[in-house]
Amino acid sequence: MTNFVSIIFPVKNEGENLKATLESLYSVKNRLLYEVIIVDDNSTDNCCDFLKNKFIEKKIKLVTTTGVGAANARNAGAQIAIGDFLVFCDAHLLFEDLWLDRLLEPLLERKTDAITPAIGAIGNHNFTGYGQTLASNLRFSKLRTHWNTKQEHLFETAILPGGCFAIKKTVFEDIEGFEEGFPTWGHEDVELSIKLWLFGYSCHVQPSSKVLHLFRINQPYQISFDEYYYNLLRLAYLHLNPARIQKIRKMITKSNASLIEKKVLNNGVLEKRQYYLTKRKYDDDWFFNKFSINF
């Protein structure tokens, strides 16, 4: 049976990046068959207009959404995907020959449920990250992702970087995709990774596959502190125990924590938490202990 892959690019004000990404994708060699799905989440810079005249023969699927945020844009792409496997990619990547074949190999061999490649930095040959973990600094009120260092062979990772990872479609559907309650960018890859582990699935790094990523200091769209902290606190209420929820709450230092928490609680998070508890195989203590995360 032929394994077919759906590569999904969420896009918002990517300028020339999307064009360069697609040119790179179609210039490299891979044996696996794939389709490309682009989800334009209400871009205002016409960054997808070139698709009308270029890559016509590739039959790229273009979906438009109304500013639903990164998580829901990815879900919109997954809804029309016909592949057995989904690959979520940022629209500012460069690829190498056989990156897709190497990335999917552990999935095809059923060694993992979700996989990320090595991710290098465009313009900086000295940096390559290999999946991520979480690092906390309560003194500075932060819980952030931290890149893993290289291992020679397939290895587990706490967090799949949203910039590029692959997942079996049936697994993505079982965990109900990215968190629909995230209205804007932020923490969607962390939430999905934690959910995968708690539901009994595994996430790995495939160091033999590599892509290059354009790391940006600023996003080409506006994200407020309130929106950033809303997603973080919603993640906590969905998956973490009460003590960790309170730690997250105390991190909300530049916004009104009470108003953000009220909004989170009014948007069905407790009902969804109870549902997730019925699907869990492990609790959050297991997750944090497994990856030696002191939080």
Rounded CA separation 237/231 (Å): 10
pLDDT at 221: 64
Rounded CA separation 288/31 (Å): 38
Global pTM reads 0.94
Q: What is the DSSP string of the chain?
A: ---EEEEEEEESS-TTHHHHHHHHHHHS--SSEEEEEEEEES-SS-TTGGGGTSSGGGT-EEEEESS--HHHHHHHHHHH---SEEEEE-SSEE--TTHHHHHHHHHHTTS-SEEEEEEEETTEEEEEE-SEEEEEEGGGTEEEEEEPPP-SS-EE-SB--TTEEEEEHHHHHHTTSS-TT--SSSSHHHHHHHHHHHTT--EEEEEEEEEEE---SS-SS---HHHHHHHHHHHHHHHS-HHHHHHHHHH--SS-HHHHHHHHHTTTHHHHHHHHHHH-SS-HHHHHHHTT---
Query: Which residues touch 13 (CB under 8 Å, ≥6 apart)?
Result: 43, 44, 45, 47, 220, 221
pLDDT at 226: 85
pLDDT at 184: 87
Considering the segment(s) 4-213 as one domain, its CATH architecture is: Alpha-Beta Complex (3.90)
Cα angle 234, 235, 238; round to 5? 85
pLDDT at 147: 96
Cα angle 251, 255, 256; round to 5? 100
pLDDT at 140: 47
pLDDT at 1: 45
Take residue 101 and report the two structure tokens written for it.
């074949």
pLDDT at 19: 97
- At residue 196, φ and ψ (nearest 5 deg) are -60, -50
Q: What is the mean pLDDT of each run of 10 residues along the chain (295 residues)?
A: 87 95 98 97 95 91 95 98 97 98 98 98 95 77 86 98 97 97 92 98 98 84 80 97 93 83 96 97 98 93
pLDDT at 138: 54
pLDDT at 121: 97
The residue ranges of every structural domain in the chain are: 4-213, 225-290
pLDDT at 252: 85
